[in-house]
Amino acid sequence: MIKNISNLGDAALYCDFGQEVNKDTNTQVIKYFKSIQEKNIQGINNLTPSYNKLIVSFDLQKTNFQNLKKEIEDLDIINIKNLSSKKVEIPVCCDEDFSLDIKRLEEKLKLSREKIYENFFDKEFFCYMTGFIAGMPFLGDLDKNLRAKRLETPRVKVPKGSVGVTEQFANIYTFESPGGWNIIGNTPINIFDSSKETSPNLINPGDLIIFKKITKDQYLNYND
């Protein structure tokens, strides 16, 4: 349930679901997100679900904070027992050319790269949210032994397809972008396709993801 609704500026509602970041809280966020989306409320022009927050942006020409706050408070939440989630396998190559921060992680985590990969691959991840850049999925939870902070100085350019980790999450850079996550590999598959307007994202909130390790040969021949 929403714990508190406040305003973010004059044209958005800030719905707080609590401090904890876990699947249960996030599932509530996603339920509200889908319910509001379905209800098609006049004036709403954007919804941004995240780990434990939902931001509802609106057109100030059509509605205002007080009106929308009431509508959201009175909203019937659709009962989605199993959020229509799908399982997605993501092939990742950890060749030296791609695993840009593996040495840093070995030092920070005091683990060998073999151990790091063992704790990362073939485990189920949950997609909490997508965004920052188009289609970027935020996936959790990362094995407790693999949790590290962001780079002190973010990279100006992280290559497209890079798979990164930070704190309890993993992500995938859907295209070249600045970024500070620890990069451990690269996927040959396209995670975001702007030509598919109805479903540009391969991974959506609520989906389950498993990373599969592939060799450089498999990587190079993947799209043939």
Binding stretches for other proteins (CB under 8 A): 6-12, 14, 21, 33, 45-55, 57, 60-61, 64-65, 129-136, 138, 174-175, 177, 192, 194, 197, 200-201, 204-205
Q: How far apart are CA 90 and CA 214, in angstroms?
A: 10
Provide the minimum distance between the beta carbon of 129 and other proteins in the complex, in angstroms, as a whole number: 7
- Are 150 and 180 in contact by the 8 Å Cβ rule? The answer is yes
Is the Cβ of residue 61 or residue 84 nearer to other proteins in the bound state?
Answer: 61
Provide the minimum distance between the beta carbon of 95 and other proteins in the complex, in angstroms, as a whole number: 27
Is the Cβ of residue 94 or residue 206 nearer to other proteins in the bound state?
Answer: 206
User: Hey, how many other C-beta atoms are within 10 angstroms of the C-beta on 23?
Assistant: 13
Is the Cβ of residue 179 or residue 185 nearer to other proteins in the bound state?
Answer: 179
Is the Cβ of residue 51 or residue 121 nearer to other proteins in the bound state?
Answer: 51
Provide the minimum distance between the beta carbon of 69 and other proteins in the complex, in angstroms, as a whole number: 11
Is the Cβ of residue 74 or residue 152 nearer to other proteins in the bound state?
Answer: 152
User: Which residues 6+ apart lie within 8 Å of 52 measured at CB?
Assistant: 16, 17, 18, 19, 20, 21, 25, 26, 29
Provide the minimum distance between the beta carbon of 213 and other proteins in the complex, in angstroms, as a whole number: 26
Is the Cβ of residue 132 or residue 222 nearer to other proteins in the bound state?
Answer: 132
User: Which residues 6+ apart lie within 8 Å of 220 measured at CB?
Assistant: none
Helices (H), the chain: 23-39, 65-73, 102-109, 113-120, 216-220
Provide the minimum distance between the beta carbon of 117 and other proteins in the complex, in angstroms, as a whole number: 25
> What type of residue is 94?
C
Q: How far apart are CA 56 and CA 118, in angstroms?
A: 40
Give one DSSP letter per residue of 167-186, joined into a string: TTEEEE-SSSEEE-SEEEEE
Provide the minimum distance between the beta carbon of 66 and other proteins in the complex, in angstroms, as a whole number: 9
